[in-house]
C-alpha cells in the first residue's frame, strides 16, 4: 500500500491484537517515540488503514444470550440493495454485515435476548427486502473460539 512502510505495518499488527496499548508502550515495541507513533497513527487513520476504535462488549452483559449468523439469498444483488444494507447495519443488535460471493450474498451476525427476537428480526429482514429476499437462513452460534472485532465508521 502506498505511503505505508514496514514500521507502519508493525504498528498495525500490534494494534490489531492490543487496541488499548498506550502510545508509550507501542513506541517501545516499535522503537519510536510516542510522538512519532502518534504521527504515524494519524497518517494511518487518514489513509483508512485504521478504520475505528471501539470497545468489545460481551453480549451476555446486555442480556443478549443468543448469537446468530443470518445468510440471505437475494434475487438481485446490485447497487440498489446498498441503502437497505445500510439500514440493516444501523440496527442495534447487528454486530457485523458482509456482502460476499456465492449463493448467499449477505452475511449478518447479530445478538438477541431470546429466540423470539431472532424470529422477529428475520421478519424485519423479510419486510425490508420484500420480494428481493429469496431465502433467510439463521444459524445459532454455540461457541466461539476466536473472534476479531473491527468497527467501520
Question: Tens digits of per-residue pLDDT, 61-77?
Answer: 888 899 999 999 999 99
Distances (CA, A) of 111 to 42, 87, 91, 147, 148: 33, 16, 11, 14, 16
- Buried residues in 52-88 as b, exposed as e (16+ CB within 10 A): eeeeeeebeeeebebbbebbbbbeeeeeebeebbeeb
Q: How many domains does the chain have?
A: 2
Same-domain check for residues 79 and 21? no
Report d(CA 113, CA 3) in Å as an integer.
Answer: 45
Res 44: pLDDT: 94
Res 149: pLDDT: 59
- The confidence band for 137, taking pLDDT boundaries of 50, 70 and 90, is very high
Same-domain check for residues 108 and 84? yes
Same-domain check for residues 41 and 64? no
Inside any domain, residue 147 = no
Domain limits for position 117: 59-140
Predicted confidence (pLDDT) per residue in 79-126, tens digit = 999 999 999 999 999 999 999 998 899 999 999 999 999 999 999 999
CATH of residue 24: 1.10.10
Same-domain check for residues 81 and 132? yes
- pTM given for the model: 0.76
Res 153: pLDDT: 41
Res 54: pLDDT: 77
Same-domain check for residues 113 and 41? no
- The confidence band for 12, taking pLDDT boundaries of 50, 70 and 90, is very high
Predicted confidence (pLDDT) per residue in 20-41, tens digit = 899 999 999 999 999 999 999 9
CATH of residue 105: 3.30.70.920
Same-domain check for residues 73 and 22? no
Same-domain check for residues 43 and 63? no
Average pLDDT of the residues in 120-142 = 96
Same-domain check for residues 64 and 136? yes
Same-domain check for residues 95 and 26? no
Same-domain check for residues 76 and 127? yes
Inside any domain, residue 103 = yes
Inside any domain, residue 52 = no
Inside any domain, residue 152 = no
Amino acid at each position: 500500500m502506498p505511503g505505508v512502510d514496514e514500521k507502519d505495518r508493525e504498528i498495525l499488527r500490534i494494534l490489531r491484537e492490543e487496541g488499548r496499548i498506550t502510545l508509550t508502550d507501542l513506541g517501545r515495541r516499535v522503537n519510536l517515540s510516542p510522538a512519532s507513533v502518534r504521527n504515524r497513527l494519524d497518517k494511518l487513520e487518514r489513509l483508512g488503514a485504521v478504520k475505528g476504535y471501539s470497545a468489545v462488549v460481551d453480549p451476555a452483559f446486555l442480556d443478549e444470550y443468543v448469537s446468530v449468523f443470518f445468510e440471505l439469498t437475494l434475487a438481485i444483488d446490485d447497487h440498489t440493495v446498498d441503502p437497505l444494507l445500510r439500514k440493516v447495519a444501523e440496527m442495534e443488535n447487528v454486530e457485523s454485515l458482509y456482502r460476499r460471493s456465492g449463493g448467499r450474498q449477505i452475511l449478518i451476525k447479530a445478538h438477541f435476548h431470546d429466540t423470539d427476537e431472532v424470529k422477529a428480526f428475520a421478519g424485519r429482514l423479510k419486510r425490508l427486502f420484500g420480494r428481493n429476499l429469496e431465502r433467510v437462513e439463521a444459524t445459532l452460534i454455540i461457541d466461539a473460539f476466536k473472534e476479531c472485532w473491527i468497527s467501520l465508521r
